[in-house]
Amino acid sequence: MRFVKSTEEVRKIQAIYARSQFLNTRNLTVTFETTPGAVRSLLPPPLEPMPEPLGSAWVADIGNSNCAGPFMAAALYVRARYKDIVGSYCVAMLVSTSEAVSFGSNLYGEPAKLANLTFESQDEFVWGFAERHQIRFLSLRGRLTGAAATGRREDSVFHFKFSPRPDGAGFDRPPQLVVVTSDITTVMAQRGRGELVFRDSPHDPIADIPVKQVIEAVYSEGHTYISARTLCEVDPDAFLPYAFTAADSFDVVGEGTLLHAQAARKTRAGRGRWRNGA
């Protein structure tokens, strides 16, 4: 019965969970400054803001992985810390395949959603976007002008892993704060001017996050190896307002496809605009 794994199959799966591989990746990251108030509003306790209110938008083409195969991804982060661990809190995560959705959300608690993603480059230009329900709510691009650092580095991302109670009243058990550590080897990188647009969407409301200025864009190619661990249990009542980032708007979904179409028509042209970095 393939529904029941053998001991050897379980060991292989656990090895993938312990150290996931993402190979031949192409990445565009645009860093921006937001406001201290926005960061404080977005961070669930016990995460705390950093002195500088920075965020980043990211889009990537993952050539292959040992956990979800090839896929594309995009995400939005704000800088944060837990005690002495400095990293980024994942506000939104978009992926192009159902395999990537289930792997990241089940194992790490990623707020992953299925989206139409584009990642392209030509000459010194790199660009990408994420689209759901006919709304292109995240667009980023870069014009690359010089070399950036290569080599090996570590990066930390915070997620919250939780299970809602079947009756809808809170959680089965206290939510957990998880840190995902990426061991990144960059073989090529360039930096330059970055641009961003956050377009309004009832399902993916990143346009609520103010962008004071775009700092830069960095394009990189390389490989990433990921491991993760649980840092602590968190207060269920304090976390509850933050527990719905991976859900679409229940009001809009409940009204059916007509309201979906109306929302798309209202926001496809976009309330957002390109925010440019020097």
Closest CA to 92 of 106, 78, 81, 82: 78
Q: Mind listing the pLDDT tens digit for each residue in 126-151?
A: 999 999 999 999 999 999 999 999 99
pLDDT digits (tens, 9 = 90+) for 163-220: 999 999 999 999 999 999 999 999 999 999 999 999 999 999 999 999 999 999 999 9
Helix (H) or strand (E) holding 6: none
Residue 262 tokens read as 């109306």
**String of DSSP letters for 161-191:** E--B-TTSSSBSS--EEEEEEEEEEEEEEEE
Whether the pLDDT of residue 49 is over 50: the answer is yes
Query: pLDDT tens across 223-277, in order?
Result: 999 999 999 999 999 999 999 999 998 888 777 655 555 555 444 444 444 555 5
Which residues on adjacent β-strands are paired with residue 28?
A: 59, 219
What does the pLDDT average to over 63-90? 98
The mean pLDDT value of the chain amounts to 93
Going along the chain from its start, the domains and CATH numbers come out as 7-157+182-226+251-276 (2.40.400.10)
Average pLDDT of the residues in 75-91: 98
**Cross-strand pairs, 255:** none
